A and B are shown apart, each in its own frame.
Chain A
Amino acid sequence: MGDPINNMVGEETSDEERAELRETLGLTDPIHIQFSRFVVNASKGEFGISYQLRRPVSELIIERLPATIELVLISALIALVSGTLLGVYTGINRKGFLSDFILAVSLLGVSLPTFVIGILFIYLFAVILGVLPSFGRGEVIDLGFWSTGLLTISGLKAIILPSVTLSLFQMTYIIRLVRAEMMEILQTDYIKFARARGISEKSINYKHALKNGLIPVITIAGINIGTLVAFSIITETVFQWPGMGFLFIQAVQFVDIPIMSAYLVFIAFVFVMINFIVDILYYFIDPRIRVKGDVTSG
């Protein structure tokens, strides 16, 4: 373990050939030189050559990127839309059978691990009902820079199970968050004052309360999209989804360090970018940040 050369060459390779390969790959250099070379190359988007697949890592990543991005975006969309809708419903109708039911189910979503849900889905929809595929991306259309599965029927069918599986945890999280926010905001003075002015319940719930309630939700949801990318490793493995997570798992089994490092740098980059975007979004959503307090006395 640990020596990449062992994984790259066969049993019959001589010690001389191994040493030569080590030399060409630069593995004999001191650690700080190797590391600075890695940083310089990484900043140019070059992460070296995969030990296992013998191809540039950046190429592999770009090839696998669309699959993961599509999966993550679709599940983020599912999580946000249905999470917000259900959250608002349970927040407004605090008592009632449907609310209790949604909350009970959401408890399952939080407590069941993703791979169990994935396997249950495969068993139900692919094995018993046979309506949806259990693995792969289906037919893919190549747009040159991007290969998408969203334009074919089989591609759309293939994305349903993995994206729902991936979104469930985030969705339940958002339901609970939106519900808590709504319940808190519906108790505030300005909602009470709006009621006292005779504003309709519909406007109070959706215009006055929901808009205020979404501000903290956006922060959490933004961070969670980052987690979705990370979580997708498990989902992609369960559904044999040809994305980056799947690539990463294979790399881990093979101690393919260039792929692993490239993947981790990419995840870190995604997290930073999303937080950055969320901070900018804040500026547009919350007037208290956008408009400087120009307080006049009196």
Chain B
Amino acid sequence: MTFLKINNLSIDYKMRKETVNAAKNINIDINKGEIVGLVGESGSGKSTVANAIVNLIDEPGKISNGSIFMGDTNISENQETIVQYRGKKIGLIFQDPQTSLNPILTIGEQLIETIQTHLNINTDEAKNRAINLLKEVGIKEAEKRFNNYPHQFSGGMRQRVVISLALCCEPELLIADEPTTALDVSIQSQILELIKRLTKERNLAVILITHDMGVIAETTDRVAVMKNGDLIEIGLTKQILVEPKEKYTKSLVSSVPPTNKKISRFTIIEKENLNIQNNNIKILNRWSKKSIVDQNLVKIQNLSKSFDDSFFTENTKNSVMAVDDVSFDIKEGKSFGLVGESGSGKTTIAKMVVNLFKPSSGDIFFDNVNVTKIKKNKDLLKFRRQIQMIFQDPFSSLNGRLKVNEIIAEPIKLHNPDIKSSDLDSYIHDLLESVELTQQSAIRYPHEFSGGQRQRISIARALATQPRLLVCDEPTSALDVSIQAQILNLLKDLQEQLNLTILFISHDLPVVRQMCDKIAVLKDGKLCEVSETEELFKNPKHNYTKELLKLMPKIESIYN
């Protein structure tokens, strides 16, 4: 018996100039007790469909056609029915637990208000119910924590509170919109386990929206693939992931970095910019290519960094050790991975390597020179041109007021002030073509590009000084998988052709496996283990590494 029936649903956003079809003729059926995944890249319309079910589409979006039936009731028909169903029959979980809770009300107040909105019970009963619920979702000392404010909980705990709020009136349908995207791997697996358990215990119908194919593989019974508002295909998860029928699904699945093996390149079926083929990297002609010497380009010894709470108190009581006595070496021409969950200190290390932070103690050697000992900015400049960084967020790492050619010209002019303008132009064009962008991109502004294209601009900017070491801080974590695959391929090509050394930072283990020769695992600022990539994945030594490997969502789990 079908519990929720989405019939021919279309959603339009009427803009001033055009109407955008965010969803086109979507048909999905969901039964009780099953988890249906909704997967797609950004802009595919998956969240729009979820919001349409509870009639919370952002303005000016409107359901233009179709209907949504829950049991025998058409819930898309009138506003009053759906308002009554919200919270009572349909629970919703949003992506970011940091922003889902009202910061100035205690979680108890928020729970009681929600319970009393739907159930006719007094405050004491509501409180009992709330506390039992908090226990059920795994919050310890629920009686005490009941009176806490959201900021007193960690991210994972907050997401549990959010789940308890979504479930407090025993809804029959749960919609989870990227419920674990903002969380670390270990917490992600706990939250997904919790959702799976509650689905069984309460016989819920669950819609799980995610872009993570690993999560889909491990959690869902059936999956629907969306692209640009179209439902591409829907079916049993195993069937879709193993034998996808549609070309788009195939390309999506092949873009996902495998967790169980290292592949040399990602197969790209649909390319973002079809017009450019990257057969030769043009900047090679200008590149004073050095042959790889068998040496350690970067040596990090006993590196520590503490952030003090206040300027005056230098005692260790308040200070947080962001990086604690870390040592490792990076061989020239190799990729070195730094892996860890949030707060593990991986970005802090990167910023010390590129000299944006001063270490509290310890030394960083670059090409056998102790960079931490250099005091003069002029002497540092020599090293800065050899070390370049690519940041995580392609939207905030490019200055929106500058054109692309100005952005790329800046580092070139800094290190080579005498360059002729015609030479500069052709250099910029070569750089852009090397990262598979057209020459015309030079005179456009960053906002005219997609996230993946912007990250290519970032890479071009980093290459402008002809660096020897490229520090990539989560370069693809803000991107969709298919774009990620293309960027990773590009980085691999560039490294091979230009003999780059790469320090690759990521929380995403499968990605690191594809990219790196050697990996260091960090936890709370301390180094857990350093070993060759395949060795680390096959024979992890440290318990924490074993834990991480066990918990990461694996798309291959579908074969079991």
Contact = CB atoms under 8 A, between A and B. Distances in A.
Bind each other: yes
Given A197-B166, A203-B113, A190 B56 contact: no
Interface string A189-213: 1101111111110010001100110
Contact of B104 (A195, A287, A294): A287
B103 A288 contact: yes
A293 B105 CA distance: 14
Given A190-B99, A199-B117, A295 B154 contact: yes
Given A199-B87, A199-B114, A208 B154 contact: no
The residue in B91, B102, B190 that gathers the most chain A C-beta atoms within 10 A of its C-beta is B102
A198 B56 contact: no
B104 A286 contact: yes
A188 B151 CA distance: 16
A296 interface: yes
A43 interface: no
Contacts of B96: 189
B102 A190 contact: yes
A291 interface: yes
B149 A197 contact: no
Contacts of B339: none
A198 B88 contact: yes
Given A188-B99, A189-B94, A197 B104 contact: no
Contacts of B86: 195-198
Interface residues of A, number: 29
B187 A298 contact: yes
A287 B149 CA distance: 7
B104 A212 contact: yes
Contact of A197 (B105, B154, B165): B165
B446 to A, nearest CB: 24
A193 B101 contact: yes
Interface in B339-358: none
A198 B119 CA distance: 12
Contacts of A196: 54, 56, 86-87, 90-92, 94, 166
A297 interface: yes
B299 to A, nearest CB: 33
B114 A212 contact: no
A293 B117 CA distance: 29
Nearest to B89: A198
Given A208-B105, A287-B104, A193 B165 contact: yes
A192 B113 contact: no
B118 interface: yes
B84 A198 contact: yes
Interface string A260-297: 00000000000000000000000001111001011111
20 contacts: A189-B96, A190-B101, A192-B94, A193-B101, A193-B162, A195-B86, A197-B91, A198-B83, A198-B86, A198-B117, A200-B117, A211-B105, A285-B104, A287-B151, A288-B104, A295-B152, A295-B153, A296-B140, A296-B154, A298-B190
Interface of A: 188-190, 192-200, 203, 207-208, 211-212, 215, 285-288, 291, 293-298
Given A287-B149, A288-B151, 15 more contacts: A188-B99, A189-B99, A190-B102, A190-B103, A194-B102, A195-B56, A199-B114, A208-B102, A208-B105, A215-B104, A287-B106, A291-B148, A295-B154, A297-B154, A298-B156
